[in-house]
Amino acid sequence: MDTAGALPDGHPDGPGVTTGPSADPPAIGVPSIPPAAERSPTPTAVPSILTARPVPVVPLGNAQVPPPPAPLPELRSPVVRHEGGGPGFPPGVGDQLRSYVYLLVDPRTETVLYVGRGRGDRCYRHVHAAGAATAAAPGPGGAKGQKFPVLDEIRDVESSGREVRIDILSYGLKGSEASLVARATREALGLAAGGGRTARRLEVSEVSALLAEPARFKRSHQVVLLRVGDRGADASYEVARHNWRIGRRWVDVGSPGSPKWAVVVAGELVAGVYRIDRWEPTPVADWSPRGRPSGRYSFVGESAPDLEERYRYRNVAAYLGAGPPGQVTYVWCGPHWVAPTG
């Protein structure tokens, strides 16, 4: 029986459908992709705006180098001229400053020449005074012997073609506050009140000696001051007791005029007090390399706590006198003994 005509359309075995390995796949109900030959051509690439372009090289000899930019003007406080030609602040500035502390600075070295305090146009007056003195007494250096050495320093700066710089260190102060700031600044920089570098900071040992209470040796104690050196020198017993030039008649502890106590002094302060039991010649091997008698003596004794409590760290400057102090000073005993001055 021929069943071909009975198969419905679209049946795999129906007419017009080829099966087998060489047959095209059946349609899936969507348009198929056309072959490559039938596709639209690939569009031409648009050049990118970021594509690097060669930079023309201009020979250096023909290049037009632009001039360097003009330097920015130096920012400076406006200075006005008052009656008499003196410089000063613009109106109203001085009132806002109140009391202030100012510095006069050498622009060549950044060295502070002067520290002052004032109100209004005070900071300008030194520079104006230096110029006025030069005009009144022309010549190398201008007028000398002024009350303030800073005037000569100002003229020296101006002779080099520069101007002294004025710095405001602090402002808006009370008068007492400005005085305190100016004084502390001068002492920190080692400046004198009128200019110049005669002042200096003090070490703590110097302040201790300056402010220490003065020693007042009792007449009955009969002491000899033995200076071992400046502040900080070794004042220990084994070091301090040797090599003193004591007269032979004063090394007899039984003599009424002989010292009874050795007071070791470092700088101007008492560093220790020892009872003198006896004196003995300083060993020649230690103090005389040539083997000759040294003519010096070493004391033997013990620390005296009671007298140390009374005299240690006291200032003996009143007994040392003017000029360089000697190594040995007798107080209430010995030859040429001294009493406190002042």
d(CA 118, CA 103): 11
Q: Which range, of 130-134, 235-239, 259-263, 321-325, averages the lowest pLDDT?
A: 130-134
Cα torsion angle, 189, 192, 197, 201, sign: negative
Half-sphere exposure of 127 (CA within 13 A, CB side): 23
Residue 217 pLDDT > 60, yes or no?
yes
In the prediction, which pLDDT does 138 show?
Answer: 46
For 21, counting Cβ atoms within 10 Å of its Cβ (0-12 exposed, 13-18 middle, 19+ buried), the class is exposed
Residue 44 pLDDT > 90, yes or no?
no
Q: What is the DSSP letter of 250?
A: G
Q: What is the pLDDT of residues 284-309, one digit of tens each?
A: 655 555 555 568 999 999 999 999 99
Round the average pLDDT of the chain to a whole number and report it: 77
- Residue extents of the structural domains in the chain: 89-189, 210-331
Q: What is the pLDDT of residues 19-32, one digit of tens each?
A: 454 555 555 555 55
**Gyration radius (Cα) of the chain, Å:** 50
Residue type, 149: P
For 129, counting Cβ atoms within 10 Å of its Cβ (0-12 exposed, 13-18 middle, 19+ buried), the class is middle
Residue 281 pLDDT > 80, yes or no?
yes
d(CA 174, CA 231): 40
> Residues near 320 by Cβ (< 8 Å), separated by ≥ 6?
225, 268, 326, 329
d(CA 164, CA 265): 48
Using an 8 Å Cβ cutoff, are 134 and 143 in contact? yes
d(CA 45, CA 206): 91
Alpha carbon separation from 181 to 111, 117, 126 (Å, rounded): 18, 9, 19
Using an 8 Å Cβ cutoff, are 165 and 107 in contact? yes
Q: What is the DSSP letter of 87?
A: E
d(CA 342, CA 337): 16
Beta bridge partners of 111: 106
d(CA 79, CA 166): 12
pLDDT band per the 50, 70, 90 thresholds, residue 33: low
Comparing C-alpha atoms, which of 303, 330, 305 is closest to residue 225?
Answer: 330
Q: What is the DSSP letter of 276?
A: E
**Higher confidence at residue 230 or residue 44?**
230
d(CA 201, CA 240): 30
For the chain, how far is it from start to end, CA to CA, in angstroms? Answer: 161
pLDDT mean over 200-224: 83
d(CA 121, CA 91): 11
Pairing state of beta strands 223-229 and 261-266? Answer: parallel
pLDDT mean over 54-62: 55
